[in-house]
Amino acid sequence: MMAQYLEIKEGHPDALLFYRMGDFYEMFFDDAVAAAEALDIALTKRGKHRGADIPMCGVPVHSAEGYLLTLIRKGFRVAVCEQMEDPAEAKKRGYKAVVRREVVRLVTPGTLTEESLLEARRHNYLAAFAEIRGEGALAWCDISTGMFRVMRCAPGRLGPELARLAPREILLSEGAGSPLEMEGVSVTEHNRLAFESGPAKARLERFFDVASLDAFGSFGRAEVAAMGALLDYLDLTQKGRLPLLRPPAQESEEAVVRIDAATRRNLELSQALGGGKAGSLLAAVDWTVTAGGGRLLERRLSSPSRLREVVTGRLDAVSALVEDPLLRGDLRDLLRRAPDLDRAVSRLALDRGGPRDLAAVRNALDAAERLAARMPEGLSTLLEAARADLAGQDELRDALEEALVAEPPLLVRDGGFVAEGHLEALDAARQLRDEGRSVIAGMQAEFADLTGIGALKIKHNNVLGYFVEVTATHSAKMLGEPLSETFIHRQTTANAVRFTTVELSSLETRILNAGAEALELEKAVFGDLRQLIIRRAADLAQVARALAEIDLAAALADLAVAEDWTRPVLEDGRAFEITGGRHPVVEAALKADGAPFVANDCDLTEHRVQLLTGPNMAGKSTFLRQNALIAVLAQMGSFVPAGAARIGLVSQIFSRVGASDDLARGRSTFMVEMVETAAILNQADDRALVILDEIGRGTATYDGLSIAWATLEHLHDVNRCRALFATHYHELTALAGGLAEAENLTVAVKEWEGDVVFLHEVRQGAADRSYGVQVAKLAGLPEAVVARARAVLETLEEGERDKDRTTLIDDLPLFSVPAAAPAKAEPSEVEAALREVDPDGLSAREALELIYELKGKVAG
């Protein structure tokens, strides 16, 4: 057995080998050591190899999925090795023969399909990047849903595209090196021959059974190479059992809004800065009721469209359902009954599905039929197309409805999922299995009538099996004509004679095998239904897409009505006019606490660069982010949190908000800030929307002021984009006043008895100071520190007023200001009592009494 294990392991050196032994997957040697630590399970030993104990650990087959998920999340790959024959068959080759085993699947982060290993509302992408003579391409697929996409992608654009897609695994050509610096993406180096465009083209044509890929689009060599590498890797990991992938759809960089990784992180589009979905924009707007609708929402939110006709079509669908609340409610109720059709079909295609996947297809088709019947004509072009895609599956739905019970079991081997009356032979086998005694009793009554012997009995023992028994007095009749032709003599005892019949022997065999026969018949029904579904996979994909489209439109309509959102007006120009805009995530959080959100206007149409000043905690970052999020929501096809919105289509969104370092790559907070700012200034075009907060704050005052000054000028004069620029450098307000298309804004505050009150209102004008000392006091700094800070601030401001702001100040009078004396605390009773004590004059008894006295004061 160990020889077999080592031979199989040699073929998968970079994966943990789950070696099937009965009801367990066992691991040995280094695999066992690594897995025991990762899974926190016992490490044992079994046998010896080259004189040393063999480490061993294992997990039960029935609960292996949970362990697989843990290993995958910790960066392992797992080769699943199954027993390919019955142990009884192996013994026929000799009592020491080893059961034949083979690796049936290589489990990697990008090739998961099991429901328990996947997030229902997120895609699980496997991507591949290919580069041929300077031309780059990125292909990606989700084998759990059948999605398959490809796009041209220059190497410099790989990072932003991966940030958009967030794949679990990416394939790179062996030896090409990894240009990636992205968390959460498992990088796999794959055979470079798989990236050859010639063989890749043939592989794709063979897989999709077409003479030419031209039927799907005009693909470059790099695109073909990336897609071919994906297929080759799937063939390797699935051991020839390829998933059902839809024909590749070509995407264009110019069709979606460009949002780089830093901006996605700063805006918290799908993940909060602290990690996880909670607190992100996605969490705030996800009102979908189906898994497919949730995945579609995430795709749209990650890739807002730049095509006006596409966005308008989506908005029309949302508007139609906003205007018909009764229809919207009915559709959402029906959608709640629709299971995840895409993933059920995918599991069935890979032969990893079960009876519940068949039921999921049936229930989804039933929901689709009811939705189509409920939707009136003429809602919108998008909804009309979706309604048409829901129809035409009556034959498959009826077949599944007739064949399956209402609530089938999880596994095929459990049986009991085929409905009574579907298959006559199965009903008979079940009757024999469940009602064997009553069937025998019926046959006994028939034999008694036939022979006229009322005392005739059908009995059973382990030697003869089932037999007919009569007393010795009736033996002559049974042995004579014509009964001897039917009843075959088996045994004579002192008091009885025993017989059998051809019918009874057949029934006996059938009763003994009825359970296994029923299960085999059910497996055959499952196989037939599975093939029926696979043949209709393309049509079912259309149904799944339609369900997701309707769900998303209804969810966004429900959200718009409940939260008082409005339909944005999208234009081809460069307008950006938001009336009463709100931050959807912050507003939801405030609403949960019963607090109102202060809405603000933003107009970048005439003054396309706006400089925002005001104190910390006043809401500058919220104002910046909310306008970027409104642009994202509008161009994904959603209503927006505002009283009104008029937006010229945005080509790019850039955000530089907050401060963080990247110590792993040797970058300080300021260096990260400058890298992100450089990316914005080098890439932003005149249709971009840029939000910048506190540029230059990570370095010396005049260095930072100079950088912020030059950045603001570059955005205005060179990039010529729409921009919101928040700063504490009040010197920049004079610059903004001198730029033709720039304007000063400030966040209003009021002072009350030395404290600051935040009004969260954005107004025209400039702040005269930052109120940093007041905010520090609110944060709880000791009073002595606050007092000292006030004194230093007054001295610095006095010095500034006496000097020309355009000159450097070399002699800041920091140390000429006397430090504020820390406040003296009054002595406690215990301290006062101790001051009066003479330790040398105390006896032991007096010292003890003093301790009790002091203890009493402390307790008091």
Instruction: Please give the structure tokens belonging to residue 437.
Output: 């005694």
pTM, entire model: 0.83
Distance CA 111, CA 130 (A): 19
Q: Give residue 692's identity as a one-letter amino acid code.
A: L
Query: How many Cβ atoms are within 10 Å of 18's Cβ, its own excluded?
Result: 26
Please provide residue 504's backbone torsions phi and psi, each rounded to the nearest 5 degrees. -70, -40
How high is the pLDDT of residue 812?
Answer: 38
Angle, CA of 392, 395 and 396, to the nearest 5°? 95
SS3 409: coil
Distance CA 588, CA 283 (A): 10
Q: Are strands 742-752 and 722-726 parallel, antiparallel or unpaired?
A: unpaired
Distance CA 412, CA 341 (A): 19
Handedness of CA 113, 116, 118, 119 (dihedral sign): positive
Distance CA 33, CA 13 (A): 15
Handedness of CA 587, 590, 591, 595 (dihedral sign): negative
Q: 331 to each of 80, 116, 313, 393, 713, how far by Cα in Å?
A: 42, 28, 19, 19, 52
Q: Are strands 689-693 and 652-656 parallel, antiparallel or unpaired?
A: parallel
The 8-class DSSP code of residue 736 comes to H
How high is the pLDDT of residue 826?
Answer: 65
Q: Which residues contact 68 (CB under 8 A, 6 or more apart)?
A: 78, 107, 114, 117
Q: Give residue 292's identity as a one-letter amino acid code.
A: G
Distance CA 597, CA 626 (A): 12
Distance CA 568, CA 631 (A): 9
Instruction: Please give the structure tokens belonging to residue 254.
Output: 């110019």
Length of the chain: 860
User: Cis (ω within 30 of 0) for the bond into 109?
Assistant: no
Distance CA 641, CA 664 (A): 38
**31, 16 contact by CB (below 8 A):** yes
**384, 377 contact by CB (below 8 A):** yes
Pick from 683, 578, 646, 649: nearest CA to 156? 683
**204, 215 contact by CB (below 8 A):** no
Distance CA 638, CA 319 (A): 9
Distance CA 121, CA 295 (A): 5
Q: Provide Rg for the chain, Cα atoms.
A: 38
* Separation of first and last alpha carbons in the chain: 77
* CB < 8 Å & 24+ apart, contacts of 668-672: 668/698, 669/698, 670/698, 670/699
pLDDT lower than 70: segments of the chain: 177-184, 658-668, 698, 700, 751-758, 768-772, 774-776, 778-779, 796-797, 799-827, 859-860
Distance CA 348, CA 352 (A): 6
Residue with the two structure tokens 């068959």: 89
**56, 28 contact by CB (below 8 A):** yes
Distance CA 707, CA 692 (A): 13
Pick from 572, 611, 580: nearest CA to 693? 611
SS3 537: helix
Handedness of CA 344, 345, 347, 351 (dihedral sign): positive
SS3 433: helix
Distance CA 671, CA 753 (A): 40
DSSP 311-347: HHHHHHHHHHHHS-HHHHHHHHHHHTT---HHHHHHH
Q: Give residue 841's identity as a one-letter amino acid code.
A: G
Looking at the DSSP assignment, which residues form a beta bridge with residue 666?
Answer: none
**789, 776 contact by CB (below 8 A):** yes
How high is the pLDDT of residue 182?
Answer: 59
**201, 224 contact by CB (below 8 A):** yes
Each residue's pLDDT tens digit, 667-711: 567 788 888 888 899 999 999 999 998 887 767 677 888 888 899
Distance CA 379, CA 372 (A): 12
